[in-house]
Amino acid sequence: TLGLCRDSVLAKQFDDPLWKRDGNLGSVESWDFEQVAKWASEKENIPNEVAQKFRENKIDGTELLFFGREDLKEIGITRPGTLARVIGTIDELKNRHLGNMIIVEQSPYCFGKIIDQLRLRAMCRPGDELPPAPEICEPDKKRFKRVVDYYFPGDEASSFILGHSP
């Protein structure tokens, strides 16, 4: 149902190629020390001994996100250039990880209306009349429009939810 409108943020978010980021390791916080070592070993700018140090010290994903220069020194990574490269790569991971967190006004009411509309559209056969636009309570109309505009950018996508042709 979420993939019915291919240009929507939801369809793109659940598109398989996008789920394969960072070697399909999943959320950084859920990485065990083997996944952290795998991530480090796959990074071209991180020497192999760093991955080995992460493995030896059983550094998990949550710990990795909090690692700084002193922490790296403590586990035996002391060369200044290597420290700089590892810190830079961890910072990139943090930025990408935080960049994946989208903060948007969430409303169970509005989201429920969107899902209901998607379900109704999914049940339509070619040639069927499209379902009417959902009825939104007056106090929630602005919020509903913001949520639809965010998750379904563009006229075609928004009209898909709002139940009329562009």
d(CA 76, CA 154): 52
| Separation between Cα atoms, residue 2 and residue 10, nearest integer Å | 6
Q: By percentage, how much of the chain surpasses pLDDT 70? A: 70
Q: Cβ distance 116 to 2 under 8 Å?
A: no
Length of the chain, please?
166
**pTM for the full model?**
0.48
pLDDT in tens, 31-71: 999 999 999 999 988 999 999 999 999 999 989 988 889 99
